[in-house]
Structures are given as C-alpha cells and as structure tokens.
Structure 1
Amino acid sequence: MTGMIDRTELWIVILALGLGSFGLRFVFLGLVGDKAMPDWVLRHLRYTAVSVLPALVAPLVVWPGATEGEIDPPRLIAALVAVAVGLGTGRTLAAILCGFAALYGMFWLIG
C-alpha cells in the first residue's frame, strides 16, 4: 500500500506534535503566566484577535471552495461590506453580522 504511513512513524509524529503543543502552552502559561508582561507585549497582544479573523476569512473570499476557486461577487461584496462596517464602527460583531447579511442578501438577489 503506497501512501500509507508506517504505524511507528505515525505515533512518533503524534507524540512530537503533542509535546510541541504542550511545550508552547507551558512556556506561556507555566513559565510566564504568573509574571507581569511588559507594556509593549500587552500592546501587541491586543491586535491578535483583530488579525486572526481576517486571516481565517481571506482565503474563503479570495479562493472559495464552493466555487472551485473562482472569485465570487457575493462573497467579495460581503467582505467589502464587513470591512467597511468594521472600519466605520470599530465593532467586530457588527462587521460580522453586516457581512453575513450582505452575503445572503447577494445570494438572494443573484440567485
């Protein structure tokens, strides 16, 4: 059987990923968790949530699986609406809801 991974290799990969994941969490929670962080670190951490949402959504807008990678006008318009509302109001939930409404509104209009 080609394409199958050896059982030993699989368990080595699983254990290595588990140890790596534990190590990353332990560094932040176990070693740094009870210490005060510098102001510059806290300032940068405030932007984590703001950067994660666009990183998750951008591939779905630019290369949507539902259209086999073709740029889809409803998704693009919904993304632009969400960005405009987000910039205008500064509220993440408002941007998400308006983008959602724009996406399904465009699907309703276009069909």
Structure 2
Amino acid sequence: MSPETAPLAAIETADLWIVMLGLGIGSFLLRFAFLGLVGNRQMPEWLLRHLRYTPVAVLPALVAPLVVWPSATGGDLDPARLTAALVTLVLGVWLRRTMLAILGGLAVLYLMLWMLG
C-alpha cells in the first residue's frame, strides 16, 4: 500500500491521555514561571518594556498565516482576505479603535467575497 492511500493510524486512548496531561503540565509550568515564581516581586524595567510588546508580536503571528495561506482556499492567495487584512490594518492605525478596525475588515471581507463570487 502506498503512503498516499494508507489509512490514518488511530491514536490509542492511553497515548492520547499522556499527550493531554503532558501539554497540560507544560502549560501550567509556563504560567507558573511568571505568576508563581515571580509573584509580587518587582521585575526589572527592561523586562517590563520588552513584555509590553508581546501582544503586538503575537497577534500578527497568529493572523498572518490565516491571511496569506487561508485554509478556505486550500492555501492559495485570496485577494478578498488580503484586502480585508490591509483595510483592517489601515483602519486600526488611522482610527486607533480596535473594534472599528475589526468590523471594517469584516465588512470588506464579506463585500469582497460577495463581489468576487
């Protein structure tokens, strides 16, 4: 049987639980490192300055693959999604209102999807 036609292997229940418990423990330890160990201690100013930029770095990293390689189009570039992302970015920078930028991008996305068919 070729690899293309081979059936997907089912994961065993015990293996699934081991993975879920491992991910849960890892997630807990990451959060505990900041909340439990640092706690009420004052962090250095340089660290606080760097942590301020974390959301600004994470959000585009989460959104960019969905815009550039959308699963709805099979990973192909989509002018509707690119236009909506550009409009959202411009509105966010210009208006400095997150919800208005999101709603504007949403409106442009649906308008472009309707116009392009």
Same fold (TM over 0.5): yes
TM-score (norm 2): 0.78
Return the match for 2:44 from 17, 34, 38: 38
Distance change (3 Å), C-alpha of 1:78 and 1:2: closer
Cross-structure match for 1:83 = 89
Letter of the 2:33 counterpart: V
Identity %: 61
How much has 1:75 moved relative to structure 2? 0.5
Cross-structure match for 2:4 = none
Quick one: distance in 2 between partners of 1:7 and 1:109? 47
Quick one: distance in 2 between partners of 1:83 and 1:2? 40
Distance change (3 Å), C-alpha of 1:28 and 1:48: same
Distance change (3 Å), C-alpha of 1:109 and 1:72: same
Unaligned segments of structure 2, at least 5 residues: 1-6
Unaligned segments of structure 1, at least 5 residues: none
How much has 1:72 moved relative to structure 2? 0.9
Aligned length: 111
TM-score (norm 1): 0.81
Calculate the aligned-residue CA RMSD, in Å: 2.2
Quick one: distance in 1 between partners of 2:59 and 2:99? 11
Letter of the 1:41 counterpart: L
